[in-house]
Structure 1
């Protein structure tokens, strides 16, 4: 089994100290193989905020870290830095690669940088990015669960969130479905949910899910959603006969009274290779 911990929108600079400690405890208890850090790592992209975020990530002791920037991770109030070196502080903390990848026999994860220096909030996926991901998906190993990670969402559940949708998402979903993607994970709107994308686009060539995470650590919570993270468990047992594979997406919410993260919901997924 491969275990992935999705931590999104921690917004260091607005983090809650007790939630930080609770998430460290969860990671040490669950021992995930991969950390998916899906953007808005900081509140204002300062050196100090990225330094704090890096120290936190190191405390989680996850062997593999896949991080992407969010719109808050490029300078907002320094136009010159935004123009000339928008990812300078990010790179010092998390490296120059803005689109990392991970794979083993069970899972392939492709992360995309959907931020743009000319967009303050919105995200965008280009035609070149869409096709590059599609080509890599089509080259996936047999049996791998194929995951794409963006910051902004490819689907929303509420009309008031539609303006936050990733620009280019429809073209991306159709092409990635053709290429065999199983899941797109994201953040940005601080609202956790799992949505079968064929409910919105029945003509998709392959079943896909949108998996959204809430804000992991920040005080910037929504009225109806507190701090939360996702844990994805890819189960190799489904691969023994060469025809089935399975994944469970777990939502873990922070309980402010008990000061710990607790499992509140699990979404099992299973699919034949031919789907």
Structure 2
């Protein structure tokens, strides 16, 4: 089974140095073939934060795929947010806001769900549009049944009971309906700083909490997820910060059926 490590919401500018140090050790120990980072690399999109984040990425041994989050847009420097929102991201992190990767075992596509302006008063909520949905479907159309199809986005397509007030990504219902044809097997996301894994519309929704920052939700420590994927099964193991180390917490096994994915 291929190993993919999913981390999220690192928030350079609000990170815990000890947690970051242990994360680096854990990546070496678990030896994933790829690291996925689903947004909010920085706290306030400051140049200093992007430089720190870039140094972390330069030190990663496995190759990585990264998508931006709403915190990677400037909150208070409005001229920057509206006129050149992704200039620092593209200067320090990567020019590609929606990267793709294809291997013999899987296809991965990242989408940028952060927006300069939101439809609600809370501009931190993201959105997926029709163009992005079509691009995702077109990308997965050529995937053979032997390849796992992975979508990476910052904002959630499903939320557990008690957390719906955080708000789903705009366009979530339409996207899940459209994804019944040539859609992902699993969606990796972050944003709400809690970790969970659930099947919705036959698609696995796997969420990572904040992996390294002090912006913790009550009852949810720093965390990351380890995916082990085969064509017909995906094992998601969740790791929580225990005070000195990231300790294995639990795992969920998902099996592919003709009508979608089911938890074993």
Determine if the TM-score, normalized by the shorter chain, exceeds 0.5. yes
Match of 2:69 in 1: 70
SS at 1:225's partner residue? coil
Correspondent of 2:214 among 205, 216, 219: 219
Runs of 5+ in structure 1 lacking a partner? 199-206, 240-244
1:58 shift after superposition = 2.5
Structure 2 contact 197–205 (Cα < 8 Å) conserved: yes
Match of 2:57 in 1: 57
Aligned residue pairs total 256
Please list, as runs of the form range in 1=range in 2, the aligned pairs for 1:1-275 lying within 5 A after superposition: 1-62=1-62, 64-119=63-118, 120-198=123-201, 207-235=202-230, 245-256=232-243, 259-272=244-257, 275=260
RMSD (CA atoms): 1.5
Question: Equivalents in 2 of 1:108, 1:216: separation in Å?
Answer: 24
Q: TM-score with structure 2 length normalisation? A: 0.92
1:118 shift after superposition = 1.1
SS at 2:144's partner residue? coil
Question: Equivalents in 1 of 2:66, 2:194: separation in Å?
Answer: 19
Runs of 5+ in structure 2 lacking a partner? none
Q: Which has the higher helix share?
A: 1
Structure 1 contact 143–273 (Cα < 8 Å) conserved: no
CA displacement 1:103-153 (0-9 Å, x = unmatched): 212111111000111133010101111111112222212311111111010
1:154 shift after superposition = 0.2
Runs of 4+ in structure 1 deviating by more than 6 angstroms, as ranges, are: none
Question: Equivalents in 2 of 1:97, 1:148: separation in Å?
Answer: 15
Greater mean deviation of Cα atoms: 151-160 or 186-195: 151-160
CA displacement 1:59-101 (0-9 Å, x = unmatched): 2311x21111100001111111111111111112221100001
